[in-house]
Amino acid sequence: MLYSEEVMDHFRNPRNVGEMLDADAVGEVGNAKCGDIMRMYIKVKDDIITDIKFMTFGCGSAIATSSIATEMIKGKSIYEALELTNKAVVQALGGLPAHKLHCSVLAEEAVKATIKDYFDKHNIPYDKDKYCKGACPCEHDHKD
């Protein structure tokens, strides 16, 4: 079987899907090579992600990684959410085919882009080098 039951479940029954008009922050990332686009919305109270939604245009793996990522960070602090890795997303889904691993990277980047938007809107200082891996949508100069 190419995809795990967990991937198929999150693809067929995505959690937290939809737009959030009153979001505290919105992040959007895309992969020009495959055409996947993820937009994530969060509501935050006392640094805790109280609600999260996503809209993903892309393949089944992109939808599944978006869905599981939102489940993994909902109810966590924004700082805990920043620690989410693409490897943790893949592990939670029971694996992904090698040619679909970029979807998990996109999910990680969407979380980081959304939290960066929250930090920027609320003038919260953060270490861009720690949270930006070079593919994020920030204006930070990623050269070492």
Tell me how far apart the alpha carbons of residues 6 and 69 are, in angstroms, rounded to a whole number: 13
59 classed as catalytic: no
34 classed as catalytic: yes
CA dihedral 65, 41, 55, 27 (to 10 degrees): -80
List phi, psi (to 5°) of 24: -80, -25
Contact call for residues 104 and 7 (beta carbons, < 8 A) = no
Select which of 34, 59, 136, 138 is catalytic.
34
Select which of 103, 132, 136, 138 is catalytic.
103
Q: Which residues are tagged catalytic?
A: 34, 103
